[in-house]
Amino acid sequence: MTNENPQTPVLSPLAAAQHRAMPFTRLVDCGMDHADARRLLADTTAGMQWQDSAMTLAETQLERAGRAEAAGHRTTARQAYRFASAAFMFAQMAYQSDTAEKRELYERHTAATMSAAALPSPHTPLMERVTVPHRAGALGGWLCRPASGKVHATVIVWGGLSGWGAAYLPIAEAYTARGLACLLAEGPGQGESRLAHGLYVDERVTEGFARFVDLVEADQRLGGPIAIQGMSFGGLFAAHLAAADPRVAAVVVSGAPATPAVPEFRTAREQMAAVVGTDNLERVAEVMDGLRFDPDKHRIGCPLLLLHGGEDPLARYEDQQPFLQAADPTAATLRIWPDGEHTLYNHAAERDAFTADWFTDHLVRTPGSTNR
């Protein structure tokens, strides 16, 4: 007998970067089936291309969904479409720039999400695709309403440089379970808004995200106050909008830098360049400088919740302090998980419950609040 341990597989630099950016906790936080998430990491450890493994998993879930739907098992079909949607979402993340392959994978992600939305049940949120005009194109998103149809308030949620829209369906489920509608937004530089309509991040990106507030205001099914939440880099956009738009009744910022900069690593630079829509790094740096959040200039008048993970390698606590400094200390809440990863992937259930309850306390139970 031997006590020798098998050698730990040596990942290629690309695979190692993908595993760091998309760990198991993130995969399942954004809706992948647990078994699929483990298979994806195992496949890519063994040398398979990330996009090939993720696409194979997605297609397997689509086949499963089709069989279940044909047999009349709508709940199973809906679940499988959701798992396929998440797998396609992560498949497209293998491409930093906007290639034809990335666009096709994102289209398949959207189509799978629409298939899931077409199979509602009495216990799941009502979900629909929504769009709003902006500049020469359109911004898209997913509107999720409580199964009862009764809405106390609405929260608009968006991501950052790579996680968009339907990646946050688990968050929407936590909110709709508490009577809050949730609009999962794809703003400038994100999702179909970028890939299909050519809308990118610039110094006036806040105007694009404000269009989702317009959309919610115009929808007569959505009563009560309007709040916003930004995940990762999107938290910077949320803070800017909260400071600029008095219609925002509360804001949550999670894992965002107040002073964005062009990243040192090549893949991260490529990702940011794609969001801005140019390979000119001087222009990218110019946009980032224009998006710096200065608490002396940008004041947040509504309640603020700042979420931070102590093990977040992308956003240190010091990087987010300006958001707290811009808010009224009596209306600002800080919640730290000492072992928390970026945007708290590893505390997803508690994060969503805590945030949903915070929104409920500030939007629904606040004395004097009324439904529109």
Write down the mean pLDDT value for the chain.
94
Confidence of residue 368 (pLDDT cuts 50, 70, 90): very low
- Which tokens is 194 given? 């970028």
How does pLDDT run across 252-305, given as a tens digit for each residue?
999 999 999 988 777 778 899 999 999 999 999 999 999 999 999 999 999 999
Task: Specify the pLDDT at position 108.
Answer: 98
Task: Specify the pLDDT at position 105.
Answer: 98
Task: Specify the pLDDT at position 269.
Answer: 86
How does pLDDT run across 29-52, given as a tens digit for each residue?
999 999 999 999 999 999 999 999
Q: Who's near 37: CB < 8 A, 6+ residues apart? A: 24, 27, 28
Task: Specify the pLDDT at position 223.
Answer: 85
Segment 142-159 shows an average pLDDT of 95
Is the pLDDT confidence value at 231 over 50? yes
CATH number of 123-372: 3.40.50.1820
Task: Specify the pLDDT at position 10.
Answer: 84
Higher pLDDT, 291 or 124: 291
Task: Specify the pLDDT at position 8.
Answer: 65
Using CB atoms within 10 Å of the CB of residue 317, give its burial: 0 to 12 exposed, 13 to 18 middle, 19+ buried. middle
Confidence of residue 372 (pLDDT cuts 50, 70, 90): very low
How does pLDDT run across 91-106, given as a tens digit for each residue?
999 999 999 999 999 9
Task: Specify the pLDDT at position 158.
Answer: 98
Give the strand pairing for 153-158 and 304-309. Answer: unpaired
Task: Specify the pLDDT at position 264.
Answer: 79
Rounded to whole angstroms, the Cα distance separating 16 from 312 reads 17
Rounded to whole angstroms, the Cα distance separating 273 from 276 reads 5
Query: Any idea where the domains of the chain sit in the sequence?
Result: 11-119, 123-372
CATH number of 11-119: 1.20.1440.110
Distance set, CA 149 to CA 83, 125, 249, 267, 269 (Å):
25, 9, 22, 43, 43
Segment 185-193 shows an average pLDDT of 98
Q: What percent of the chain shows pLDDT beyond 70?
A: 96
Residue 300: beta bridge partners? 327
Confidence of residue 123 (pLDDT cuts 50, 70, 90): confident
Q: Do domains 11-119 and 123-372 have the same CATH topology?
A: no
